[in-house]
Structure 1
């Protein structure tokens, strides 16, 4: 699964709405939640998620047509895993940043030329 797929599943299943397993989202709402994602990329990703069984797409025969997306059980399960990973990342960001700094400092020292 691509990173953007996980990102969109996370947007479709916001933690503020846990326990509401049948939330439908319209395209415009998803686009607002995912600032910076182009309509083309969002459309491609939603189609891929539907193909993978992570969401369903319902087209209502209205003028203009109304389309809603809903996570499947599989999509909700993935959303929970994404939330767990997000929580872990936020809880450990200080340690992660410290490890990066230490690594970068060691790498910088190792690449300095030996002076005689």
Structure 2
């Protein structure tokens, strides 16, 4: 860990840590959603739709898990240097990715019904 700068207020460090843990929890939820989607019985969704939804969820899960620590480190470094917090560049990807899965699932449910 970069030790340049001052030790930040513990409240900010702990808030950063909670955010890191939330990213990991989000990753687990996305992964569970992907596994659940892959386990949906064959007659409910078209197989390709089920596979697409599962793959997108698991990929989002892997991204969230893989990027959570580097993000924590960037924010911690900014706190130590009393610099602006860097923007979360992947926020749109996660937001739109989950929205895409929800819309595709909704369409598949409506077509199946």
TM beyond 0.5:
no
Greater share of helix residues, 1 or 2? 2
Greater share of strand residues, 1 or 2? 1
Query: TM-score, normalised to structure 2's length?
Result: 0.31
Q: Which structure has the greater CA radius of gyration? A: 1
Query: TM-score, normalised to structure 1's length?
Result: 0.31
Larger relative contact order, structure 1 or 2 (CA cutoff 8 Å, min sep 6): 2
